[in-house]
Amino acid sequence: MAKIYGSITELVGRTPLLEIKNYEKKHELKAKILVKLEYYNPNQSVKDRIALAMVEDAEKRGLLKPGYTIVETTSGNTGIGLAAIAATKGYPFRVYIQDQVSRERYQVIKAFGGETIKLSEEPAIAKVLEETGGDFVAAIKALKEEVLSKEKNIFFVDQTSNPANPAVHEATTGPEIWEDTDGQVDIFVANVGTGGTVSGVGKYLKEKNSDIKIVAIQPGAGSLPSEENPEPEEITGVHPFEGVPAERVPATMDLHIYDEKFEVEATEAYRAAREVAKTDGILIGTSSGAAIHAATELAKRPENEGKTIVAVLPDTGLRYLTTNLFNDEFSV
C-alpha cells in the first residue's frame, strides 16, 4: 500500500545522487562526478533543509509560538523554503530580500502567502547598503538593531548565525552522501553562502574519513561588485569568505573545515549549467553551475584520476528563467 504523507515537512531531504556520465564523457574526465540534486526537495532547493530545521528548533526552544510572525533576510531560496514551512504550520511570514534576485523568487514567496520587502525599500537597510557598498552582513545587523528590535511577537530566523543551519547538514546531508556512496567519496564540493552546507557536511564527512578533501566555492573577483564593474553578473547566493573582513563572514561558516578555496566566475557557472542541461537533462541554477565547474576542474587534475567527487547542486534552473542564465543572447 502506498505511503501517504501528511505534510511537506516529511518530504525534505533524501535527495538523490546522480553521476553525470554524459558530461564526464564529453570532457574526457578520469574522475567520477556525482551531483546531489537538491531540487528534489519539495520547494526545489537545498534551503528547504535549513528552513524546516530552524523553524522546528525555534518551536522546541520556545522562540516561535502560535501567532508569531517568522521574519528573515535572504537572496531567495531560504525565503521560499520558509514561506512554504510557515504556510503549512500556520505562521505569517515576512522576508527582506536582495534587490537583484530573479523575479520568480518574489512570485513564489508571494504565492505561499509571504510578504516580500526589497532591502532597498527599508530606509535603515538601504542607508547601510549604500554606505558599505552592498554589505549584506551589515544590512542584516541594521535590520535587527533598527527595525526588528522594535517589534513584538516575531521570530527572526537569522540563517547566517543560526546553529540549526549547519547542524541539519551534519545530521542529514552528510549522512545521505556517505550512505549513498558506501563511504566511497574522495572530494566534497559546495558553494558558500551562509556556509552551512560546507560546514555541516564537511564536519560529518571528516569525522567519517579525515582524508576526504573539502572544497569551498566563492565568487571570482570578476563576479563581485567593484568600482570598475558595479553591477557584474553574480552567482546568486554565493558569497566570498576569504579576503573579506572577519565581520562579513557568517557565523555559520566554519573557516577551519575546508581544505581548498575554489573561485568561480559567473560566466563559468553559466557555461557549466547550460552544458549539463544538454548533456544530462538536468536543469539547474547558477550556483549549481558553479559547483559543476569546480568539480570539473578538480576532476582534470592528474592526482584526482579515479577519484569520486560529490558536488551539491543547490536548486533548479526554473528559478532563473528571467535572468541571463539561459539567455542565448548573453554570451559566456
Q: Which residues does 243 contact at the CB level (< 8 Å), separation at least 6?
A: none
217 within 8 A of 309, measured Cβ to Cβ: no
Q: Considering 223, 287, 288, 307, which one is annotated as catalytic? A: 287
3-class secondary-structure state, position 214: strand
Kindly provide the residue ranges of all beta strands, DSSP E only, lying in the chain, ordered along the sequence.
Answer: 17-19, 32-37, 69-74, 93-97, 115-118, 154-156, 187-191, 213-219, 260-264, 308-313
314 within 8 A of 287, measured Cβ to Cβ: yes
3-class secondary-structure state, position 134: coil
Q: For the CA atoms of the chain, what is the radius of gyration?
A: 19
Residue 118: which H helix or E strand, with range?
strand 115-118
Q: Which residues does 76 contact at the CB level (< 8 Å), separation at least 6?
A: 97, 98, 101, 102, 105, 236, 237, 319
Q: What are phi and psi of 187, to 5 degrees?
A: -135, 135
Q: Cell numbers 542564465 correspond to what residue?
A: 325
Q: In this structure, which amino acid lies at residue 314?
A: P
For the chain, the residue count is 332
Q: In this structure, which amino acid lies at residue 233?
A: E
Distance of CA 185 to the CA centre of its chain: 21
How far apart are the C-alpha atoms of 41 and 59, rounded to whole Å?
Answer: 22
3-class secondary-structure state, position 69: strand
47 is catalytic: yes
Q: Considering 32, 36, 45, 47, which one is annotated as catalytic? A: 47
Tell me how many degrees the CA angle 118-286-269 measures, rounded to the nearest 5.
135
Catalytic residue ranges = 47, 287
